[in-house]
């Protein structure tokens, strides 16, 4: 579904993606983690070409992103994206946020688009908030509307960039629950997150990145509990406070 082949990217002189090779199959749920500045967001954003790459190739749903003949707008319509800061349109109600793209891109009529949006609002538990403006919604509610907005396009792939890290702790689960149910329905998902519980529950693979590189990839227990690479080990013990084989400095 998504394939990175020897992908490199620089911001000026800064090498932010270093020889990325990664293949993601249909229906897979991939969690990407790693320290701040590792290049996680950049990697995610290359999938729908919000960022372009300087070297290598990315193939999404059979389309080559470097090919000038690839219809990017059409491809982007098939890839949903959820942002850390929600990015709802502030001048539109929850309902109108959701119906905009189906109407303008898919050409749905007002009635059809509204029906679909109401189903999605029900799915994320926000039917009663349909006429609220983003400013009137809590962070958790905004993020659920944002997920519904992406789903309204019936995407083949969903990308999440730290969807819960701007939320108060008590609002995180309502968003994760929606994501878990999506994963269980077989959506192809690439999720940048440090929510270890979410990863343990639904991730097929966890990708650990540092300094623009994929350091290691594996099933959740392998990466979180039993990482092979010292950089992964350091990160896990410092961020998740998981004792790794009693090898951290304090425990010696």
**Rule CB under 8 A: is residue 135 a binding residue for another protein?**
yes
Q: How many CA atoms lie within 13 A of 228 on its CB side?
A: 7
Judged by CB under 8 A, which of 8, 70, 87, 173 binds another protein? 87
Q: How many Å apart are CA 179 and CA 85, to the nearest integer?
A: 16
Q: Which residues are bridge partners to 218 per DSSP?
A: 206
Token pair 């968003």 is at which residue? 175
Closer CB to ligand ADP, residue 212 or residue 220?
212
**Rule CB under 6 A: is residue 38 a binding residue for ligand ADP?**
yes
Q: How many Å apart are CA 142 and CA 62, to the nearest integer?
A: 33
Which runs of E-coded beta strand occur in the chain?
A: 2-11, 14-24, 29-33, 55-60, 63-64, 79-82, 157-161, 188-192, 205-210, 213-218
Of 12-20, 85-93, 232-240, 241-249: span binding another protein (CB under 8 A): 85-93
Judged by CB under 8 A, which of 1, 18, 19, 83 binds another protein? 83
Q: What's the order of all strands across the beta sheet hosting 29-33?
A: 79-82, 157-161, 188-192, 29-33, 205-210, 213-218
Q: Which does 128 bind (CB under 5 to 8 A by kind): ligand ADP, another protein, Mg ion, none?
A: none
* Residue among 228, 249, 229 at smallest CA distance from 238: 249
**Rule CB under 6 A: is residue 36 a binding residue for ligand ADP?**
yes
**Burial classification of residue 82, based on how many CB atoms lie within 10 Å of its CB (0-12 exposed, 13-18 middle, 19 or more buried):** buried
Q: Which does 38 bind (CB under 5 to 8 A by kind): ligand ADP, Mg ion, another protein, none?
A: ligand ADP
Judged by CB under 8 A, which of 104, 119, 184, 229 binds another protein? 104
**Burial classification of residue 185, based on how many CB atoms lie within 10 Å of its CB (0-12 exposed, 13-18 middle, 19 or more buried):** exposed
Q: How many residues does the chain have?
A: 252
* Residue among 89, 169, 190, 181 at smallest CA distance from 132: 89
Q: Which does 242 bind (CB under 5 to 8 A by kind): Mg ion, ligand ADP, another protein, none?
A: none
Q: How many residues make contact with ligand ADP (CB under 6 A)?
A: 11
**Rule CB under 5 A: is residue 46 a binding residue for Mg ion?**
no
Closer CB to ligand ADP, residue 93 or residue 232?
232
To Mg ion, the closest distance from the beta carbon of 142 in angstroms equals 18
Q: Is 40 helix (H, G, I), strand (E, B) or coil?
A: helix
Of 31-39, 82-90, 199-207, 240-248: span binding ligand ADP (CB under 6 A): 31-39
**Rule CB under 8 A: is residue 153 a binding residue for another protein?**
yes
**Rule CB under 6 A: is residue 42 a binding residue for ligand ADP?**
yes
Closer CB to ligand ADP, residue 46 or residue 93?
46
**Residues at the site binding another protein, with contacts judged by CB under 8 A:** 48, 50, 73-74, 76-81, 83, 85, 87-91, 100-101, 104-105, 133-135, 139, 146, 149-150, 153, 159, 166
**Residues at the site binding ligand ADP, with contacts judged by CB under 6 A:** 11, 14, 16, 34, 36-42
């Amino acid at each position: 579904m998504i394939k990175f082949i020897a992908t490199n990217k620089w911001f000026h002189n800064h090498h932010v993606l270093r020889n990325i090779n990664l293949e993601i199959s249909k229906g897979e749920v991939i969690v990407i983690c790693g320290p701040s500045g590792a290049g996680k967001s950049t990697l995610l954003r290359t999938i729908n070409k919000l960022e372009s790459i300087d070297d290598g190739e990315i193939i999404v749903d059979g389309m080559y992103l470097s090919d000038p003949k690839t219809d990017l707008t059409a491809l982007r319509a098939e890839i949903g994206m959820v942002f850390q800061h929600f990015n709802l349109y502030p001048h539109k109600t929850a309902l109108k946020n959701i119906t905009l793209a189906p109407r303008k891109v898919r050409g749905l009529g007002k009635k059809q688009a509204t029906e679909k949006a109401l189903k999605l609002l029900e799915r994320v538990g926000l039917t009663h908030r349909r006429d609220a403006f983003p400013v009137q919604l809590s962070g958790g509610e905004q993020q659920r509307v944002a997920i519904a907005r992406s789903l309204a396009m019936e995407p083949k792939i969903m990308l999440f960039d730290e969807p819960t890290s701007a939320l108060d702790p008590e609002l995180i689960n309502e968003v994760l629950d929606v994501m878990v149910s999506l994963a269980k329905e077989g959506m192809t998902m690439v999720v940048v997150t440090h929510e270890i519980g979410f990863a343990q529950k639904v991730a097929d693979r966890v990708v650990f990145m540092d300094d623009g590189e994929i350091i290691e990839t594996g099933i959740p227990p392998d990466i979180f509990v039993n990482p092979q690479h010292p950089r992964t080990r350091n990160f896990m013990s410092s961020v998740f406070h998981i004792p790794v084989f009693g090898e951290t400095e304090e425990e010696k």
